[in-house]
Amino acid sequence: MLYHLTLMLAVLDPSVGIQTQQVATVASQPTHFTNYAVAYREAQRAKKPLLVILNPAEESSAVKVDEVRKTQQRRDLLQKFVVVVIDTATDHGETVNKLFNEKSLPHVSVIDRDQQW
């Protein structure tokens, strides 16, 4: 799954039509969100695509953001997204998983800047 996410990040270039932010603004942003509604609103505000990672309860098969962000190239690319990592073992995560039609986990989706699947 990490390979597919890495490949997806390497292929996608959502920077078209996005103005670069000042360094101070980027530094104050969290690396990822854990609440889907908050992340969704931030993606709308920032006019960035939303990268949604739905993780299972089993830690061993979860997509770890630290692993995804381990190279500078990946970190630079992820700055073009609002990232949300959802633990589907929680009530909130269960609700969000239903929004995504309860796909097999872990699951990664990108919602574009216009908030379309």
In sequence order, what are the residues at sequence separation of 6 or more whose Cβ sits closer than 8 angstroms to the Cβ of residue 110?
8, 12, 49, 50, 51, 52, 81
- Candidates 36, 35, 58, 37; CA nearest to 105 is 58
The model's pLDDT over 36-79, given as tens digits with 9 standing for 90+, comes to 999 999 999 999 999 999 999 888 788 888 888 889 998 999 99
In sequence order, what are the residues at sequence separation of 6 or more whose Cβ sits closer than 8 angstroms to the Cβ of residue 70?
none
Its CATH architecture, for the domain 2-11+24-111, is 3-Layer(aba) Sandwich (3.40)
The model's pLDDT over 22-33, given as tens digits with 9 standing for 90+, comes to 334 444 556 899
Q: What are the sequence ranges of the domains in the chain? A: 2-11+24-111
On whether the pTM is more than 0.75, the answer is no
Lowest-confidence range among 6-15, 35-44, 78-87, 90-99?
Answer: 6-15
